[in-house]
Protein backbone atom coordinates (compact mmCIF):
# COMPACT_ATOMS: atom_id res chain seq x y z
CA UNK A 1 0.00 0.00 0.00
CA UNK A 2 2.78 2.48 0.86
CA UNK A 3 4.52 1.98 -2.46
CA UNK A 4 1.24 2.22 -4.35
CA UNK A 5 0.35 5.53 -2.71
CA UNK A 6 3.80 7.02 -3.24
CA UNK A 7 3.64 6.02 -6.90
CA UNK A 8 0.12 7.43 -7.24
CA UNK A 9 1.28 10.70 -5.73
CA UNK A 10 4.36 10.78 -7.98
CA UNK A 11 2.28 9.93 -11.05
CA UNK A 12 -0.15 12.78 -10.34
CA UNK A 13 2.77 15.18 -10.02
CA UNK A 14 4.44 13.92 -13.21
CA UNK A 15 1.35 14.41 -15.35
CA UNK A 16 1.05 17.99 -14.19
CA UNK A 17 -1.72 17.65 -11.64
CA UNK A 18 -1.64 19.33 -8.28
CA UNK A 19 -3.38 18.25 -5.10
CA UNK A 20 -3.91 19.36 -1.56
CA UNK A 21 -2.94 17.42 1.51
CA UNK A 22 -6.56 17.26 2.63
CA UNK A 23 -7.92 15.85 -0.63
CA UNK A 24 -5.15 13.26 -0.97
CA UNK A 25 -5.47 12.11 2.64
CA UNK A 26 -9.24 11.87 2.38
CA UNK A 27 -9.18 10.00 -0.94
CA UNK A 28 -6.65 7.43 0.27
CA UNK A 29 -7.53 7.21 3.97
CA UNK A 30 -4.12 8.23 5.27
CA UNK A 31 -3.06 10.63 8.01
CA UNK A 32 -1.38 13.97 7.42
CA UNK A 33 1.78 12.59 8.93
CA UNK A 34 1.80 9.73 6.42
CA UNK A 35 1.18 12.18 3.58
CA UNK A 36 4.24 14.23 4.56
CA UNK A 37 6.39 11.10 4.89
CA UNK A 38 5.41 10.01 1.38
CA UNK A 39 5.98 13.49 0.00
CA UNK A 40 9.42 13.54 1.65
CA UNK A 41 10.27 10.23 -0.08
CA UNK A 42 9.36 11.74 -3.43
CA UNK A 43 11.48 14.77 -2.62
CA UNK A 44 14.47 12.56 -1.81
CA UNK A 45 14.00 10.64 -5.05
CA UNK A 46 13.83 13.83 -7.09
CA UNK A 47 16.90 15.23 -5.34
CA UNK A 48 18.94 12.11 -6.10
CA UNK A 49 17.67 11.17 -9.57
CA UNK A 50 15.93 14.21 -11.09
CA UNK A 51 17.51 17.27 -9.48
CA UNK A 52 16.03 19.56 -12.14
CA UNK A 53 12.62 19.05 -10.49
CA UNK A 54 11.15 19.57 -7.04
CA UNK A 55 7.80 19.42 -5.29
CA UNK A 56 6.41 22.90 -4.77
CA UNK A 57 3.90 23.89 -2.11
CA UNK A 58 1.67 26.77 -3.17
CA UNK A 59 0.64 28.84 -0.18
CA UNK A 60 -2.19 30.52 -2.09
CA UNK A 61 -4.24 27.38 -2.65
CA UNK A 62 -2.35 25.02 -0.32
CA UNK A 63 -1.58 22.60 -3.16
CA UNK A 64 1.47 20.57 -4.16
CA UNK A 65 2.82 20.34 -7.70
CA UNK A 66 5.98 19.41 -9.55
CA UNK A 67 8.07 22.24 -10.95
CA UNK A 68 11.50 22.73 -12.41
CA UNK A 69 13.91 23.65 -9.64
CA UNK A 70 15.11 26.70 -11.58
CA UNK A 71 11.49 27.98 -11.66
CA UNK A 72 11.36 27.95 -7.85
CA UNK A 73 12.72 31.49 -7.67
CA UNK A 74 9.69 32.69 -9.66
CA UNK A 75 7.27 31.40 -6.97
Span 24-31, average pLDDT:
97
CA distance linking residue 10 with residue 56, whole number of Å: 13
Give yes or no for a contact between 55 and 39, defined as CB atoms under 8 angstroms apart: yes
Indicate the pLDDT class of residue 52, thresholds 50, 70 and 90: very high
From residue 74, alpha-carbon distances to 1, 39, 41, 56 in Å are 35, 22, 24, 11
Structural domain of 10: 2-74
Domains: count for the chain? 1
Q: Please state, for a pLDDT cut of 70, what percent of the chain lies above it.
A: 93
Task: Look at residue 13 in the predicted model and tell me its pLDDT.
Answer: 97
Average pLDDT, the chain: 93
Q: Please report, for the domain that includes residue 54, its CATH number.
A: 1.10.10.1200
Amino acid sequence: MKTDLILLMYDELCIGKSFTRQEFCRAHFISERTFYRYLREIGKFLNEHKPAFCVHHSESDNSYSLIRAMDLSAH
